[in-house]
Structure formats: C-alpha cells, structure tokens
A and B are shown apart, each in its own frame.
Chain A
Amino acid sequence: MKKNEVPQDEGNLSKSNMKELVYATDENGNYTTELSSGWEPKTIALSNSLEDINERVAEALMRVKDSKSSPIVYFMEVNRMDINILAGYVGMWKWRIKKHFKPKVFAGLSDRVLSRYAEAFNISLSELKKFKAE
C-alpha cells in the first residue's frame, strides 16, 4: 500500500476523532507510517457485526415479552456476550445459567444470585428484577 493510497474514509473511528496508524510505502518504496481515519470495507464489516447483534437483541426482547426467555437472555445480548463469557463473569456453570434463561426459574431466583447477574450486566438489582419488555 502506498502512502497516498492509505484510506481516509468516514467511519466509526472518524466519528470519535480517532485515527489509526498504518505502515505504507513512500514515493521511493521505503516504509513509513501514516494515519488513517477509516476504511469503508472495514466499516461495513463492523456494521455487519453490529446489525447482527441488534437482531439478536431484538429477538431476545421478543422472547422475554412472550415469556419464553428470562431478562438474563436479553441483557446477555445487550452486553454482546455469549453464554461462555457470561459464565465467566457470574462464575456459574453454563447448565445452571441455561436454567436461569427460563422465566419460571428466573422468578424464583434469590437476590444473591440475581445480584451476580446484575453486576455482570453493569445494572442495579432492581433494574434486573423489574425489567419489563416493552
């Protein structure tokens, strides 16, 4: 990549005034560094992943609304986690978390267990307990 070809597209970085450093060649073919504000293919790749997350969040919200899933599923998706990551944060086995995905089991959980989830999701205990899917 030549220095004058370093992409300067609008992107997720330029929105927050960030620039990344890349290595590129100057007119004599020698390597030097240049700042880049963003590159479209990269922005699209990132948007694709974010869209995917948004779809997962919307789907989780529907399931909570239809009483098919507990709010834990929704907050897990909002926080871009999967069950492995959540298991790490709350320090519970995956099979146990899976049980807590059921609204009936969730309703009977103690505050002690719930607060572990609330902490992992960075919300208060009451936010988790009183969560209503609108």
Chain B
Amino acid sequence: MEVGFTHHQAAHCENGVASNLLKHNGFDISEPMIFGIGSGLFFVYIPFLKVNHAPAISYRPMPGTIFNKAAKRLGFSVKRVKFSNPKAAEKALDDNLKNNIPTGLQVGVFGLTYFPDEYRFHFNAHNCVVYGKTETDYLVSDPVMETVTTLTHKDMEKVRFAKGAFAPKGQMYYPTSIPKKSDLPQAITKGIKETCRDMLAPVPFVGVKGIRTVAKLIPKWAAKQGIKKANHYLAQIVRMQEEIGTGGGGFRFIYAAFLQEASVILKNEQLKVLSLEMTKIGDLWRDFAVNASRVYKNRSTQTDVYNTLSKEMLHIADLEEAFFKKLKKAIS
C-alpha cells in the first residue's frame, strides 16, 4: 500500500517533516516558517549528558518541540503516540498507512541503512515520514535526503526502538486537524518572542549565556583534560553545528530565511535588516568551524589557539545578545 506523498528536501529533519506533512494536508508552509514559529533556534549545553564520549551541546530544542509549538501556534492538532511493544507500534503505523495517513516518526540514526556509514551514530532525534509499505520494505521520505528511500521491516523496527539518550520508543505523529486559515502574524510573533526569551535566558547553560559558558570552557578543556580530549570536544561542537540537518551555521541561516519571510508577512522592515544581521552571525559561526577544524587537524599544541577560539565564540555570543535584544524590540 502507498499513500500519494510529495517529498521535499529540507535542511533540517524536524522542520522538514512538519512542513512536508502540512503541505500534504493542503496547508502550504515553508521549512523556515515552521522553524521560526516553532522557536527552533536554541543553544543548550548539558554537561552531565555525554554524547559520543563528549559533553552534549545542541543548537536546537528537544526533539518534537518545534512541531508541537508550531502546531499550537498555527492552530492544528498533532497526535503523538509512543509504544513499549514493537508489534503494537508496527500495527499502529500500518493502520495509519491503510487509512492513507503519511506518518512522522522519530528514529535513531544508527540503524538508517540509507545513510553513509560515516554518519551512522547513536543519535536518536532524527525524523522522517513513512508513506507506504511493500512486502519487504517501508517507503520512507527522509527530509534530509534528496529523494525518497526505503527501509526493511526489520530495520524499521530497529530505528523506531533505538536505545540510548532520547530513545524514540516507536514514537509516531501526524496532524489530525488542519485549520482553514491561521493567524500567521500572531504565530510568528509568538515564535519570535519565545526564541528571544530562550536565547536571553538568565541560565548559564542556555542561550547566549550557554554559548559563553562553553566558550570559557574551551581553554580549560585543553589545560585540564589534555589536547586530545579538547580536540575531540571541539570536533563535537562543530559536528552539532554543521551536521546534516542544521543547514549550516548552527541553524542561523534557516532563521535568517525565516526572518526575511516574516518581514513580508508582518510588513516589518526592521526584520529584514535583522535577517541580514543574522546571516552575518551565521557566517561567523562558519568561520569558527573553519578555525576549530584547523586546530584539531594540525593538532597544534599551543594553548593560545584555544584562547583564540574561546574569544571568537565569546564575540559571537556578544553579537547574538545584542541581536536578540533588537529582535525583541522589533516585534513588541
């Protein structure tokens, strides 16, 4: 069985799934819009959670929250189900397909056989859409892929029941009601307000302050944990920032694209100016990635390079702080 479904490639999996599922239901909305309205821009440092033997750093919120927030603000409802039993999970998915409902899934990346081997890590916050089933395979629309792909029934069970941090527990989700018309300006304003609040949060692990905390740790990692570990941690920062699904520059370019679209809808010229500013900040994140990669490639032993990187990141944090203060003013 197969549901007619149009695949659009996206920069980031969760926005992409959300945007594709809504388009399928006749609600035409771009990926950056979902990202902005769902307050997708974020920064968090979780020192006690280790991912690939390095502290967890994320440039986006918890899996699922972008779609949920966008849904709430645009006025459609999303059904989300988790399972403890793989057989029940399979049946629920198959029932959905029988009812012509393309279904979003949270999956683990390690078992995604259509990914290049180098990308297959135990990372459980990936999203894709299943739109059909054959004798042997499930038909999969993974937004970060250029075209649609497949997974065997067995592999599907594996990725849905991947284990470790953020284990998906077979989670599936799909929009159940679509509003004919949404209050887009209000949804945009709400999304922006929350992003400003998060990025300017007075908590040392979140937003601009979180970026500062990590920036200050870089030289300390080198001094206390040794060059090897420090380089591994640096590589982890760059990977989270530039991995498939971030659209480059730790999501900054997607956000800039959102602000540009928003400036037209809200008829707010200031947002267009801020979009350009966010693009520049995104470029600086990319410069940071270039410089960081030089450090762990050359395995430089000077302690100064870590201080330079740290200063670069602190500079970005200053720019972002000023940026989000301006953004908050621009929409109030």
Please give the residue numbers on chain A whose beta carbons come within 8 Å of chain B beta carbons, in ascending order: 1, 12-13, 15-16, 18-25, 29-31, 33, 35-36, 39-42, 44-46, 48-50, 52, 79-82, 84-85, 88-89
Which residues on B are within 8 Å of A, measured CB to CB? 9-11, 32, 50, 52-53, 110, 116, 118-122, 144-146, 163-165, 167, 231-232, 235-236, 238-239, 242-244, 247-249, 253-254, 256-257, 260-261, 275-276, 279, 282-283, 286, 289-290, 292-293, 296-297
Q: Say yes or no: A41-B253 contact (C-beta < 8 A), given A18-B116, A48-B235, A84-B165.
A: no
Verify B232–A49 contact, CB threshold 8 A.
yes
User: Is the CB–CB distance between A20 and B232 below 8 Å?
Assistant: no
B293 & A21 in contact (Cβ 8 Å cutoff): no
Q: Tell me the nearest residue of chain B to A90, going by C-beta.
A: B163
Number of A-B contacts (CB under 8 A): 120
- Is there an interface contact between B232 and A48, defined as CB atoms closer than 8 Å? yes
Contacts of B276 in A (CB 8 A): 29
**A46 adjacent to B293 (CB under 8 Å):** no
Nearest residue, chain A, Cβ from B248:
A22
- Residues of B contacting A89 in the complex (Cβ-Cβ under 8 angstroms): 163
- Contacting pair B239 A31 (CB below 8 A): no
Cβ contacts under 8 Å, A41 to chain B: 238, 242, 286, 289-290, 292-293
- Establish whether residues A12 and B118, one from each chain, have CB atoms under 8 Å apart when the complex forms: yes
Is the contact region of chain B dominated by helix, strand, or loop, or is it mixed? helix
- Complex CA–CA separation, A44 to B52 (angstroms): 16
From B50, B52, B231, B238, A42 is in contact (CB under 8 Å) with B238
A79 to B292, alpha carbons, bound, how many Å? Answer: 27
> Which residues of A sit under 8 angstroms from B242, Cβ to Cβ?
39, 41-42, 45
A109 to chain B, nearest CB (A): 20
Which residues does chain A contribute within 8 Å of B244, judged by CB atoms?
A: 13, 20
Q: Which residues of A contact B163 (CB under 8 A)?
A: 85, 88-89
Partner of A80, one of B121, B247, B297: B121
Q: Are A1 and B293 in contact (CB under 8 A)?
A: no
For B256, list chain A residues within 8 Å (CB): 23, 31
Question: Shortest CB–CB separation between residue B13 and chain A, in angstroms?
Answer: 11
- List 9 interface pairs A-B (beta carbons < 8 Å), by A numbering: A22-B11, A42-B293, A44-B297, A46-B119, A49-B239, A80-B52, A82-B50, A82-B52, A85-B163
- Give the residues in chain A near B164, CB-CB below 8 Å: 81, 84-85, 88
Question: Whole-angstrom distance between the alpha carbons of A80 and B115 in the complex?
Answer: 15
Question: Are A23's CB and B50's CB within 8 A?
Answer: no
Contacts A21-B144, A45-B293 aside, 11 further interface pairs with beta carbons under 8 A come to A23-B253, A33-B11, A44-B296, A46-B118, A48-B232, A49-B121, A80-B121, A81-B164, A82-B52, A82-B53, A85-B163
**CB of A102 to closest CB in B, whole Å:** 22
Which A residues touch B53, using CB under 8 A?
A: 52, 82
Contacts of A79 in B (CB 8 A): 110
A80 touches B119 (CB 8 A): no
Q: How far is the CB of B221 from chain A (nearest CB, A)?
A: 14
Contact assessment for A45 and B167 in the assembled complex, using a CB-CB cutoff below 8 Å: no
A49 touches B236 (CB 8 A): yes
Question: Which A residues are CB-close (under 8 A) to B293?
Answer: 40-42, 44-45
- Asked whether, in the complex, the Cβ of B11 is within 8 Å of the Cβ of A21, the reply is yes
Leading 10 A-B pairs by shortest Cβ distance = A88-B163, A41-B293, A31-B257, A85-B164, A48-B235, A12-B118, A45-B238, A23-B253, A45-B235, A16-B116
What is the distance, in angstroms, from B7's C-beta to the closest C-beta of chain A? 12
Give the CA-CA distance A13 to B118 in the complex, in Å: 9
Bound-state CA distance A93–B172 (Å) is 28
